[in-house]
Chain A
Amino acid sequence: QVQLQESGPGLVKPSETLSLTCAVSGYSISSGYYWGWIRQPPGKGLEWIGSIYHSGSTYYNPSLKSRVTISVDTSKNQFSLKLSSVTAADTAVYYCAREHSSSYYFDYWGQGTLVTVSS
């Protein structure tokens, strides 16, 4: 059973960098698939942030690309998200998920973690 678990600070100050990690169990990241980040502001819809392959190949949402970095650590079977220069608009529940490459759908999701941007 594939399981994903997000972790990281729940509160980030404006202009700082948001950092989250997604630990994967039940499946080796090195075996394939893309691994993605999606966010959901309170009371609003889903927004895809970006995705990474085990090789390190990435693709990002063009609207966030200048601020986003996604990396992978296959030795720890986890991948990470960094979002720089955050504002209150970046307050959201952040989800990590497994993505089927070439079909672009997410079949396993983490439970999500709320990150609030506030001073």
Chain B
Amino acid sequence: QSALTQPASVSGSPGQSITISCTGTSSDVGSYNLVSWYQQHPGKAPKLMIYEVSKRPSGVSNRFSGSKSGNTASLTISGLQAEDEADYYCCSYAGSSTFEVFGTGTKVTVL
């Protein structure tokens, strides 16, 4: 099972919106609404930002939103802030043989 494909980097200016894609296959992202997104600052543990494609845990800013179309999931950050600069990873359930697969990761830079 290969990792889900994410762009290596995405950048934007403060206040702008950016979208990070997470492309899988019909065996993972396309088959299940079980995509989650994690934010990771350097030297820190990942933090859950989105689960079940579009649900936000308590305490996560509503500037973060998730969606899915076909085999591609997306994370949108609106009103980009300096603190959003971090690595972001998607993760999807991939069935009862593979179970879970992470994305390749995307570095978000705030210009």
Smallest CB gap from B102: residue in A: A46
Which residues of B lie under 8 Å from residue A59 when comparing CB positions? 99
Give min CB distance, A93 to chain B, whole Å.
Answer: 9
CB contact list, A57-98 vs B, under 8 A: 59-63, 95
The listed residue (B47, B98, B103) touching A62 by CB distance below 8 A is: B98
Complex interface: stretch among B12-20, B69-77, B89-97: B89-97
Which residues of B lie under 8 Å from residue A45 when comparing CB positions? 3, 89, 102-105
A105 close to B (CB within 8 Å): yes
Whether A95 and B46, one on each chain, are in contact in the complex, defined by CB atoms closer than 8 angstroms, is yes
B101 close to A (CB within 8 Å): yes
In Å, the complex CA distance between A75 and B100 comes to 28
Question: What is the size, in residues, of chain B's interface with A at 8 Å between Cβ atoms?
Answer: 25
Q: How many A-B residue pairs have CB under 8 A?
A: 63
Which residues of B lie under 8 Å from residue A111 when comparing CB positions? 44-45
For chain A, which range describes its interface: under 10, 10 to 19, 20 to 34, or 35 or more residues? 20 to 34
Mark contacts of B3-44 with chain A using CB atoms, 8 A cut-off: 1 yes-contact digit, 0 otherwise: 100000000000000000000000000000010101000001
Smallest CB gap from B46: residue in A: A109
Whether B99 and A104, one on each chain, are in contact in the complex, defined by CB atoms closer than 8 angstroms, is yes
In the assembled complex, 8 residue pairs joining A and B whose CB atoms fall closer than 8 Å, in A order, are A45-B103, A61-B98, A61-B100, A62-B98, A104-B36, A105-B34, A106-B36, A106-B46
